[in-house]
Amino acid sequence: MIDAYTHHAEPGAAGGTLAFLFHGTGGNETQFLGLAGDLLTDATLIAPRGDVSENGALRFFRRTGEGVYDMDDVARATAKMAGFIKAHVQAASPSRVIGLGYSNGANILAAVMLDNPTLFDDAFLMHPLIPWDPTPEPVTTRTLITAGERDPICPPERTRALETWLKSQGAPARILWHPGGHEIARSEIEAVAAFLRSAEVPHDH
């Protein structure tokens, strides 16, 4: 399962932080390497490439329209990605596991996290859209959601519902809003950096 996805791997400090990076629709495995390299200087970076093509744009699962997901394919992708992540965690024995995803990448990260609530220590969900009701299960992952107040793709009420659900399951979660749309704002990057700095060293995996 460690090679279930075509991916970029950048080694960091042995036994240190392991960070998984998930690109948005139309991106690829290099999308967040520069950002993560700046924010997580000693981390091992694993960036998978989406295995679904939507008119040539890479994604992690199929959809039938904007915000309308093929839920069977979401289940397939979630199980496949969880196996991929667990294989890398087992191989690396990291002290901390982080996930960062944007748009479709945030959605696959959230889907894996909701099915595997102890897998990640920290998760950064940038402009996620989870239009289904997750199965209740205690979640320990510290989660930062970032979103645009005028995002035409991710309705703010769905973003708030995700935060509310995570908090109801016990997860330390919060949202950072910016006044724009679906683009990544500078304030989001700064919030991720501050969130990382505030973290205590978590449990071993």
- The residue ranking higher by pLDDT, 177 or 201, is 177
Average pLDDT over residues 22-43: 95
Determine, yes or no, domain membership for 46: yes
| Catalytic site positions | 103, 151, 182
DSSP 57-110: EEESS-EEETTEE-HHHHHHHHHHHHHHHHHHHHHH--SEEEEEEETHHHHHHH
Determine, yes or no, domain membership for 204: no
CATH of the domain at 190: 3.40.50.1820
Task: Work out the pLDDT band at 199, boundaries 50, 70, 90.
Answer: low
Per-residue pLDDT at 200 exceeds 70: no
pLDDT of residue 203: 45
Find all residues with CB under 8 Å of 72, minimum gap 6, and list them.
none
Determine, yes or no, domain membership for 91: yes
Determine, yes or no, domain membership for 205: no
Determine, yes or no, domain membership for 1: no
Find tokens 């075509």 and name the residue. Answer: 6
Write out the residue range of the structural domain in which residue 121 sits. 7-198
pLDDT of residue 202: 45
Determine, yes or no, domain membership for 80: yes
What is the reported pTM? 0.95
* Tally of domains in the chain: 1
- The whole-chain average pLDDT of the chain stands at 94
DSSP code for 166? H
Rounded to an integer, what distance in angstroms lies between the CA atom of residue 89 and that of residue 87?
5
Determine, yes or no, domain membership for 24: yes
Determine, yes or no, domain membership for 2: no
And the tokens for 8?
């970029």
- The residue ranking higher by pLDDT, 205 or 130, is 130
Find tokens 């679904």 and name the residue. Answer: 52
